[in-house]
Structure 1
Amino acid sequence: MTPRWLARLVVVTLLVGVGAGVGGALVALLLHAIQHLAFGYSEGTFLEGLLEAPPLNRVVALAVAGVVGGVGWWLLRGWGRRDARHAIVPVEASVGGRRMPGAVTLLNAGLQIVIVGLGASIGREVAPREVAALWAGWLSERAGVSARERRILVACGAGAGLAAVYDVPLGGAVFAVEILLAEVSFATVVPALATSGVAALVARAVVPANPLYVVEQVPLSPTIVVWSVLAGPLIGLAAVGFVRAASFAQRHRPRRWGILIVMPVVFVTIGVVALWFPAILGNGRALGQVALGASLPVLLVLLITVLKTAATVGTIGAGAAGGTLTPSLAIGAGLGLSAGAAWLLLWPGAPLAGFALIGAAAFLAVTMRAPLTALVLILEFTNQGPALLVPLMLCVAGAVGVGYLIERGRVTGVA
């Protein structure tokens, strides 16, 4: 590799990070604008805005989301069926070498942002990843890099998009290396760190640098360590169930004109349920904050967690595109809080927030199939120190181990 070629690669890598940061900032701005327009609030969290707005707004906003999403994806996917050049290409396929069509990718990401902003129960993280991967792929082609270098840059771009929209620079880098590239080497780690760091820095012009969730610092205690060992496999089982339910819903979503009926009906139903349980709406941050802050009665949080699970699976089954990162975190936090509250009756000595946080990490590790990414994201989302690392690692290991055994048994025909 000549010095000139190395300099070009460095410039391209930095530009991937800048583009991902700009894309993440635009996604955040558009999402907030839609939320504020739909629910009429200008400050505070999404849940606070929901509670201040008239309850009927929840149903109306979800109805609009169902119509916009249904019509939008019916047209977009129909376009792809008629002409393969305009088919939606996921980030993983782009990392594998496929080219992402520009207009289709941007429209697909835009639809995700619109429905999440209106309250749809699905994650927002796929949109910035797709936009950043599109930019990285286009830039790589213009720079004339090799196929391997393009693969690395597209994966790093997607990770940087995640880093930008949530201000999780290390989490974005680990996501790219562990999930998209599955290769830990000098050639993958350095660009992943550089692109995610640059993207997060650029996006901070818009995205607050504060932790996504406000959680008290949880000290290490014997009771929480023992609970982590025992709860890990159980949380793993629950996470596998969620993954299978989401996969089933994905396989059986309406493929053609049925989405025009199914999506509005499902979304309105979720909106009606949200009249009594508003925390089920959105990408999961509302429930996540409630669970991690232990701000509601435990049984009520458990009920909201069950409803959030059903709403997310239903949203996927209705044909919506999006992610399950923040919904998984929220569901795991709700389960961890509930299980931790029962455990404290037997062995008190730890704050409830610690159980919710550990449950969130373990559940997320299984649904993402990425224990390191889940650990890093939870620490960055909550600004936790190293005190809780041991129980976090033990619970994540137990949950992922159970998930692996179940999947292995499923492949070999045992389960």
Structure 2
Amino acid sequence: MTTLPTRTYWLQRWAALLLTGVLAGLGGMLLALLLHEIQHLAYGYSRDSLTGPQTFLQGVTDASARRRFFVILSAGIVAGCGWWLLGRYGKKRVSISAAVKDPGKPMPGITTLIHALLQIITVAMGSPLGREVAPREVGSLFAGGVARYLRLTPTDIQLMIACGAGAGLAAVYNVPLAGAVFTLEVLLVSFSWDAAIAAVVTSALAAWIATLGLGDEHQYRFTTELASTSLVFWGALSGPIMGAAAFLFRRLTQRARSKVRSNWQMPVFSLVAFAALGALSMWFPQLPGNGKGPTQLTLDGSVTLQLALAIVCIKIFVIWAVLRGGAEGGLLTPGLTIGALLGSLLFIVLGRLFPGSDMAGFALTGAAGFLSASMQMPVTAITLMMEFTRMDHSFLVPLALCITGAYMTSRQLERWQKS
């Protein structure tokens, strides 16, 4: 016979949910503000406003080539020495997925916070990886601590840790619905109404808290009003292309991470990787950072064949290099950028065959398809694109077709690889 929870326990559970949302929102907001402060200090732009109108790409472009090189070289020193020392002297890190799988194994507080700060610092200085893992880790750390303090059951501790990660994602990108979907699809890999309500409450609260310091803005400017009929056909045709490309990207990044050794090699390899990135950024200021700038260029329709081809090839190379060097960070926004650039390339080559479509539409579908397959999260991908761009609902069909084709192609290629 199942014992129903007491009223006191339900109050404790709701207190844990609310505290998880608030703490994840504050954590995401503070990490984002720290990122902006370091960016402005490193590249010398918008010193009077952390959330001003000047973008990171504009700030990097306006900085001298010499300054770009030395800032990114410094990021290599921070990354190599920081993660090497953390691996050598810190407690063994517990990932979010491991903490969700085994709620009896808490994430070490100091190690997790230092790991998150290193990601924010290096991404702000120009690392090509994403910033989204840091707020997810901080959100999960706080959520697990609150849940254990309130003496929740192991099942509810597991739920809170997952909700904390989703809320951290929601906070840093202002994507409350995508944060909730990410919690269910990627971390819990299941659905129940209790979990869904918990995910929505925490992500919505965290996103709102973060807007108090960051403003209520979406990530990308997308001005195309309606999706053309030809884009629907393109969405269906391009899915397998994006899925195959994402499969190769996943293999590349997984192999790079598998070869990292926490010894003297890490500072050396990291310095070499970031030095290469810094040198390339002297000619291509679009390279530093997680890729938001180049993605916006594709959505504005303002990239040429030569620029798109150069950036996508070099971007993949520098992502591999810094991962091989031992740097940490997310692959959500980098994957989105690669997909958008591939979509732009395909538009330049094939766009005339799809009358009524534009580069922005091709970039949007490419970004969604590549992201869904590279991160293995199709539902989260389409939700993210909706909240990232505030696109018209007419784009849902081409995006859904591209995401489905990309995800299924990537999964099938992985099955063939294992067989």
Fold match by TM threshold 0.5: yes
Is the aligned partner of 1:396 residue 2:396? no
Which consecutive residues of structure 1, in runs of 5 or more, have no partner in the other structure?
Answer: 81-85
Equivalent residue runs for 1:7-406 within 5 Å: 7-42=11-46, 43=52, 44-80=54-90, 86-96=91-101, 97=103, 98-406=105-413
Give the CA deviation at 1:311. 1.1
Q: Supply the distance in 1 between the matched residues of 2:322 and 2:269 (Cα, whole angstroms).
A: 10
Residues 117-150 of structure 1 deviation map (CA, whole Å, 9 limit, x = unaligned): 1001100000000111000011111000001100
Q: Supply the distance in 2 between the matched residues of 1:349 and 1:231 (Cα, whole angstroms).
A: 17
Tell me the SS of whatever aligns to 2:212.
coil
Give the CA deviation at 1:3. 2.0
Tell me the SS of whatever aligns to 2:214.
coil
Tell me the SS of whatever aligns to 1:279.
coil
Tell me the SS of whatever aligns to 2:213.
coil
- Counterpart residue identity of residue 143, structure 2: A
Give the CA deviation at 1:157. 0.4
Q: Supply the distance in 2 between the matched residues of 1:192 and 1:347 (Cα, whole angstroms).
A: 40
Give the CA deviation at 1:26. 0.6
- Counterpart residue identity of residue 354, structure 2: W
Q: Supply the distance in 2 between the matched residues of 1:289 and 1:319 (Cα, whole angstroms).
A: 28
- Counterpart residue identity of residue 66, structure 2: L
Give the CA deviation at 1:255. 2.6
Q: Supply the distance in 2 between the matched residues of 1:202 and 1:242 (Cα, whole angstroms).
A: 35
Q: Supply the distance in 2 between the matched residues of 1:326 and 1:395 (Cα, whole angstroms).
A: 18
Give the CA deviation at 1:4. 2.0
User: Share of identical aligned residues, percent?
Assistant: 41
Match of 2:49 in 1: none
- Counterpart residue identity of residue 284, structure 1: G
Tell me the SS of whatever aligns to 1:259.
helix
Which consecutive residues of structure 2, in runs of 5 or more, have no partner in the other structure?
Answer: 47-51
More deviation, 59-68/342-351: 342-351
Give the CA deviation at 1:199. 0.3
Tell me the SS of whatever aligns to 1:384.
coil
CA contact (8 A) 2:267 2:325 kept: no
Residues 245-273 of structure 1 deviation map (CA, whole Å, 9 limit, x = unaligned): 00010011233111111101110111110
CA contact (8 A) 1:28 1:206 kept: no
Q: Supply the distance in 2 between the matched residues of 1:15 and 1:347 (Cα, whole angstroms).
A: 50
- Counterpart residue identity of residue 92, structure 2: A
Q: Supply the distance in 2 between the matched residues of 1:387 and 1:346 (Cα, whole angstroms).
A: 20
Give the CA deviation at 1:389. 0.5
- Counterpart residue identity of residue 341, structure 2: G
- Counterpart residue identity of residue 47, structure 1: L
Give the CA deviation at 1:116. 0.4
Tell me the SS of whatever aligns to 2:119.
helix
- Counterpart residue identity of residue 62, structure 1: I
Tell me the SS of whatever aligns to 1:170.
helix
Tell me the SS of whatever aligns to 1:206.
helix
Q: Supply the distance in 2 between the matched residues of 1:63 and 1:77 (Cα, whole angstroms).
A: 21
CA contact (8 A) 1:299 1:338 kept: no
Q: Supply the distance in 1 between the matched residues of 2:407 and 2:26 (Cα, whole angstroms).
A: 34
CA contact (8 A) 2:368 2:403 kept: yes
Tell me the SS of whatever aligns to 1:215.
coil
Q: How many residues align?
A: 407
CA contact (8 A) 2:231 2:354 kept: no
Q: TM-score when scaled to structure 2? A: 0.95
Q: Supply the distance in 1 between the matched residues of 2:244 and 2:11 (Cα, whole angstroms).
A: 48
More deviation, 341-350/236-245: 341-350
Q: TM-score when scaled to structure 1? A: 0.96
Q: Supply the distance in 2 between the matched residues of 1:15 and 1:56 (Cα, whole angstroms).
A: 45
CA contact (8 A) 1:23 1:132 kept: yes
Give the CA deviation at 1:79. 2.0
Q: Supply the distance in 1 between the matched residues of 2:303 and 2:213 (Cα, whole angstroms).
A: 31
CA contact (8 A) 1:167 1:208 kept: no
Q: Supply the distance in 2 between the matched residues of 1:272 and 1:260 (Cα, whole angstroms).
A: 18
